[in-house]
Amino acid sequence: MGIRDGDLIQIVNDLRDGFADLKANVVSRWGRIPNVAADPTSPPDGAVWIRSDDLGLRWRSNGATKVSPLGEVAYAEATGVQAAFGPAITDITNATVTFTAVAGRKYEIAAFAAIQQNTAAGIPQLNLTDGAGTLLAASPQSELAAGVGSMFILKRVVPGAGSVTYKLRASSTAGTITMSQGATFPTVIRVHDVGAS
């Protein structure tokens, strides 16, 4: 049994009306999201608001407040030639980020570098530090002379409010090392806001 023309027209009209109602509902809900300085006291499930201090979208679900991530907040890459150094820990040129952190937010730092162990076998190491040089995370890899190691760091931090700096540094247990980097294979550091702490 096929669909008659009249039935088809009614289906199309129902769909059109349904989408119009959906659009109106979305506009009415999302067009009135309150922008507040602090979270409301005991909001009901389904409540949605934006915090004016960090622009984070928040909503209430199953009795808990959920907070949206804010995305990338800092990024840097190093592509240029850097003279061989080591074995002592040394800053990687142009692999530093500085941004203004928001109180109560978690940040995830991702870093990648390829390091060549030059003159002797050793353990080159990619290091993530804060602006003062305090080691936060490291990625070591044993290499023969002339070997290149690809190193990755993933670290979550909650620094508190204010300007913060993170940088990549490199070192080795022996000999010298060289950053193996260029325009299409950069050393990278990226900071991503992943939500409330």
**What pLDDT is recorded for position 89?**
95
Helix (H, G, I), strand (E, B) or coil at 15: helix
**What pLDDT is recorded for position 164?**
98
Query: CATH 2.60.120.40 spans which residues of the chain?
Result: 71-196
**What pLDDT is recorded for position 27?**
47
Closest of 175, 165, 169 to residue 90, by C-alpha: 169
Q: Six-digit token pair at 168?
A: 């990549």
- Give the chain's length: 197
The HSE-up count of residue 188 (CA atoms within 13 Å, CB side) is 13
The number of angstroms, rounded, from the C-alpha of 187 to the middle of its chain's C-alpha atoms is: 16
Closest of 181, 173, 188 to residue 140, by C-alpha: 173
186 with 46: CB under 8 angstroms? Answer: no
Name residues whose C-beta falls within 8 Å of residue 167's C-beta, 6 or more positions apart in sequence: 91, 92, 95, 96, 97, 128, 129, 130, 131, 189
Beta strand residue intervals within the chain, DSSP E: 35-36, 48-51, 57-61, 64-67, 71-78, 90-101, 105-117, 125-130, 135-140, 148-157, 162-171, 177-179, 187-196
Class of domain 71-196: mainly beta
pLDDT tens digits, residue range 81-119?
999 998 999 999 999 999 999 888 899 999 999 999 998
Reading the chain (197 residues) residue by residue, the pLDDT tens digits are 455 555 555 555 555 555 555 545 544 555 567 778 888 888 888 888 887 776 678 888 888 888 888 899 999 999 999 999 989 999 999 999 999 998 888 999 999 999 999 989 999 999 999 999 999 999 999 999 999 999 999 999 999 899 999 999 999 999 999 999 999 999 999 999 998 87
pLDDT tens digits, residue range 43-52?
888 888 887 7
Closest of 56, 61, 15, 14 to residue 39, by C-alpha: 56
- Count of CB atoms situated within 10 Å of the CB of 153: 18
**What pLDDT is recorded for position 106?**
93
